[in-house]
Structure 1
Amino acid sequence: MNNRFKKLFYMVSFLSIISLLLVACNNSEKTEGSKKAEVPESENAMDEYVVGDQFKAKEELTFSMLFSDHPNYPYDKNWLLIEELKERTNINLEMTVVPMSDYAQKRSLLISSGDAPLIIPKTYPGEETPFVASGTILPISDYVDLMPNFKDKVEKWEIEPFLEGLRKDDGKYYLLPGMHENVWPDYTLAIRTDIVEELGMEMPTTWEELEKVLVAMKEAYPESIPFSDRWEFNSTLNVAAAGFGTVAGWGLGSALKYEEEQDEFVFAPATDEYKSMLTYLHGLVEKGLLDPESVTQDDDQATKKFINGDSFVIGTNSQTVVDYRKDMNETLGEGNFSIQKIVVPGGPAGQLMGGSKLENGVMISAKAKDDPNFEALLQFVDWLWYSDEGQEFAKWGVEDTTYTKNDDGKRVLTDDVNYVGLNPNGTKALNVDFGFSGGNFAYGGTTELLHSMFSEEEIEFQNAMRDTKELVLPDPPIKYEEMELEQANLISTPLKDFVGTATYEFILGDRDLSKWDEFITELESMRMQDYVDLANEVYKKQK
């Protein structure tokens, strides 16, 4: 073997060894990354904790928690909720109480400064995103093996497709969402059924049929504007959008919509479907059927028109329809009217319904993983927010004190307890006086539990929606990396602001629909295509 060949041989051998070492290191890193996060052993956690177990720490513990304080049922440290929770779980909660109006801002400040409590509830999907890069909140998906009730519901209720939307570019999610067994719609339209019957018409099932009803109402009551809306029209835009095959209002989100056939995202407000929805709504305004003030008036103004009989249709949910009825008993007189929630009308795209099985949920501070009782904390959160028993407790309270069960297992509030009109003669409120059914704990659960506090009217609405609507599954997630997310937000924020203004202008006629192409040109000048291209690039990369 000559010297030149020897040198070449040794160099190739050396490089081969280096390559093998690099591959081994890389594989080792991947293996390490796929391991379950290690959790320090907690002396006070339950040794055996499975679905159906009542969690109780071995010794009395205290965990810090952020609390969103609702002005209608302010926090009271003497609530039965707090007392009973300690009795059942051996856990004290050290509350940082923040007014609901300041909650999001205060939560952000506490997390950013490193002073956040360990348990951070009342966080809606997406609100955790700003805290991911800093490492101040826990990648909780690494630890859900210690939360049997959470895992059980994810599997039984087929929650995984919805969790996908929470995962970040590292494949982890940082929020424990509230979870419902089924998608449940709440917002729709309330309509004066007595007027519909007076006109000899059927309840509308499509937007086209609704327009015919509004026309008849206007002809019979020329001084009225049949449809005067609240919530700055955002609710109606949201519920109407699904039937028109688009997204809008409260449901605008990123303003991107996934097109399955093309396997790509489009900018929804630039589509023919969005234009079709605006054309329909503008037609209602032009014919005097929809109040132009719907996009600007406050809720009290809209409600006043409805309860005084100046309008006959308004946006509603399960609670506001009860409020309307109560107020109208005073203004129009009991027995002189009838109203109900109608099934959301279908549109050109069909009888479709958007929605999610996820609710607001809980973030865990990254500091928690260093707490010697971290495992006990996870067991506590798992029991209170995700077990059947914990969810029933947070919603209904203590059996034989705040509620009883009849022979059929139906829950009934005790004689002196009222909640959302279920027991009007009750002198004490379930949330105000006892702390139950509040926004920090009581959300998510089985459909049976959800329906347990609904009126028969609301259950009929839910069943009708379920029986007549096809659920639109959530779009696949776009898992931006930090810099990509910053770029997407930079472009999308002014785009969506512009869309919001232009949407109202088109509906009211201040912007002519015949000039739709000019609207598209303006969107393009604001880098709409860059935004869409970035989204599709990230989506295809993650696939």
Structure 2
Amino acid sequence: MSKNVKRLLSFLLVVVLAVGVLLAGCGNKNSSSSSSNTSKQEQTATNSKDPQNLHFKSDKPLEFTMLYSDHPNYPYKSDWLLWKAIKDATNVTLKLTIVPMSDYSQKRSLLISSGQAPEIIPKTYPGQEIPFVSSGAILPVSDYIDQMPNFSREIKEWGLQNDINSLKQADGKFYVLPLLHQTYTMQYSLAIRQDIFEKNNIPIPNTWDELESALKKLKELYPNSIPMSDRWQGKALIGEALPTFGVPIAGSDGLFDWTQTSTVLYNSSKDDWEFYPTSQEYKDMLTYFNRLVKEGLLDPASFTQTDDQAVQKFVTGKSFVIMTNTQEIQNMINRMNETLGQGNFKVTQILPLAGPKGGVIAGSRLENGIMISAKAKDDPNFPQLLKFVDWLWYSEAGETLTKWGVEGVTYQKVNGKFQFMPDVDYMNLNPSGTKNLQKDYGFAGGVFTLIYGGPKDLAESMMTPEVANFENQVNTQRKLLPVAPPVPFTESQREQANMLSQPIGDYVEQMMLKFITGVASIDKDWNSYVQQVNSKGVDQLVKLTNDVYQSSKAKMK
């Protein structure tokens, strides 16, 4: 053994003896020091097992406050297994401010404005955070992403950075943590009476032109019918059609309404913002639907009737085509079992139709998410709060817990696949189950989970085979348009834009329905419409949008 090594060992021995003497004389301090060392050792062991630091469980009990949207279909219960499961997994108890879902948006605004908001504010859709940014009432969550490894991992691995950038405000920061989709989940498209199509050798349409041909054939065969009678005031139908005709409403999903969105849209080929409701592409779409109405193929009541009136026509065989979504279609099938008899019909949700611009769809892989109150930063356990939010909403373990519940109690794994326990049901996926996953246990609720969102495998775990097949076809046979870049208005600029945009949107929406239903003539009244809408400040709105976009573009990347 070398002299240097001997000297080192002798020195270490002296240090060890000295430490031993100090510890022996420290009384109660010994317990504290030992506990601290143990905690550090445990943390080191945890880090070695979890090098990305993706897991979270507090080493002491914590309590965080949270706003809770109470759904009427599964009213809040304090004894839900959900709360115990969260506590067992994280050592966190949630102190809830419970608000009826119908009042949630209004109550959320009041609480934030008065400084009384809880720390965690979920069920916030991108855009709903904007009114609270300038006051400093909510945190710029983008400042804390480095403390949220699960969220960061999903953004990176799922290619969502551009989508996240679209949330940035004028300061280059974003203020809501959206829930995320690994793959896009299409909700809305047309449902058809496939049995009627097959009986008459009518091909399932893949394009709008093919739909028109199918409707004509149905009208010939069933002259007393109106082949297509729609619901939701035609808003889902228009939302599906617009991008396929070349009106780039990228990022929009579901029910579309010009009064609820900007009429100035991003043209990616020119990298600027343009007014589309006077474009040839938009006019072509109006002409198409007006033709369907004139020929008796599309019910003009589609834009005014109640949803139940539209559905009643479909389930009684008076119409054969209607917009639906991946959850609503089952409700229609259940009603048709009563009206037409089980086995006497077949209903299928078809792929979103392709148009002149191809098989493109508008939508977003971002969903409602979480704001964090500014006062949360003053909580001494703020770092743990960030880790808790990150784990519960963005880790696969957390997402599985809030969606499926507790293994062995609400679900089991069979050959690697999720299955409900024999006595548990949800969405009629296990009809023999006597307990409801939401009502009786609190899991799969909208505050914590996306039923068809998150990791792809987890999203598909609660889909019927038909829905899973539909979603896979959408993702392989249709192209999701990229989201538009942000236009981060300041508060005064946004006020100016809203003052211009609202009357323009109201008029465009009004005239769209008139053109489609034939109350106004596209041939005779189009030029007058263009002049009238331009007089409402279109040029000013376009200029304001482009000025803000160009001046802030570098900051938004």
Tell me how far 1:180 sits from its aligned partner. 0.8
Equivalence map 1:25-44=2 (5 Å): none
Tell me how far 1:412 sits from its aligned partner. 0.5
Match of 2:465 in 1: 456
Secondary structure at the residue paired with 2:485? coil
The 1:46/1:381 distance shift into structure 2, 3 A limit, reads farther
User: 2: CA distance between counterparts of 1:247 and 1:158?
Assistant: 21
1:153 aligns with 2:161: no
Secondary structure at the residue paired with 1:120? strand
Kept in 2: contact 1:50–1:149 (CA 8 A) = no
User: 1: CA distance between counterparts of 2:455 and 2:341?
Assistant: 38
Deviation string, structure 1 residues 397-453 (Cα, Å, up to 9, x no partner): 11111111112x110111111111210111111111111111100124111111111
Structure 1 unaligned residues grouped into runs of 5+? 1-42
Equivalence map 1:372-383=2 (5 Å): 372-383=380-391
Structure 2 unaligned residues grouped into runs of 5+? 1-38, 250-254
2:488 counterpart (463, 470, 479)? 479
Match of 1:417 in 2: 424
Match of 2:55 in 1: 54
User: 2: CA distance between counterparts of 1:154 and 1:330?
Assistant: 45
Kept in 1: contact 2:351–2:473 (CA 8 A) = yes
Equivalence map 1:236-251=2 (5 Å): 236-247=237-248, 250=256
Equivalence map 1:103-502=2 (5 Å): 103-247=104-248, 250=256, 253-407=261-415, 409-443=416-450, 444-502=453-511
Percent identity over the alignment is 48
The 1:85/1:279 distance shift into structure 2, 3 A limit, reads same
2:535 counterpart (525, 531, 537)? 525
Deviation string, structure 1 residues 145-203 (Cα, Å, up to 9, x no partner): 11110111111111110011100010000000001112221110100001111111110
RMSD of aligned Cα (Å): 1.7
Deviation string, structure 1 residues 293-350 (Cα, Å, up to 9, x no partner): 1111111111111111111111111111111111101100111110100001100111
Tell me how far 1:55 sits from its aligned partner. 1.4
Deviation string, structure 1 residues 357-409 (Cα, Å, up to 9, x no partner): 101000000000111110010010000000010011111111111111112x1
Kept in 1: contact 2:248–2:266 (CA 8 A) = no
Match of 2:9 in 1: none
Q: What residue identity is the alignment partner of 2:541? A: Y
Secondary structure at the residue paired with 1:270? coil
Deviation string, structure 1 residues 251-286 (Cα, Å, up to 9, x no partner): 753222212232211112121111111111111111
Deviation string, structure 1 residues 1-49 (Cα, Å, up to 9, x no partner): xxxxxxxxxxxxxxxxxxxxxxxxxxxxxxxxxxxxxxxxxx9997857
Count of residues in correspondence between the two structures:
500
Equivalence map 1:505-516=2 (5 Å): 505-514=514-523, 515-516=525-526
Secondary structure at the residue paired with 2:226? coil
Runs of 4+ deviating beyond 4 Å: 43-53
User: 2: CA distance between counterparts of 1:510 and 1:529?
Assistant: 27
Kept in 1: contact 2:54–2:150 (CA 8 A) = no
Q: What residue identity is the alignment partner of 2:333? A: R
TM norm structure 1: 0.90
Kept in 2: contact 1:62–1:94 (CA 8 A) = yes
Q: What residue identity is the alignment partner of 2:315? A: I
Kept in 2: contact 1:50–1:148 (CA 8 A) = no
The 1:84/1:506 distance shift into structure 2, 3 A limit, reads same
Kept in 2: contact 1:192–1:340 (CA 8 A) = yes
Q: What residue identity is the alignment partner of 1:295? A: F
Match of 1:33 in 2: none
Tell me how far 1:50 sits from its aligned partner. 5.8
Q: What residue identity is the alignment partner of 1:394? A: T
TM norm structure 2: 0.87
Please identify, of 137-146 and 243-252, the stretch whose mean Cα deviation from structure 2 is larger: 243-252
User: 1: CA distance between counterparts of 2:269 and 2:60?
Assistant: 57
Tell me how far 1:70 sits from its aligned partner. 0.8
Deviation string, structure 1 residues 485-527 (Cα, Å, up to 9, x no partner): 1111111112111111111111111111122111111111110
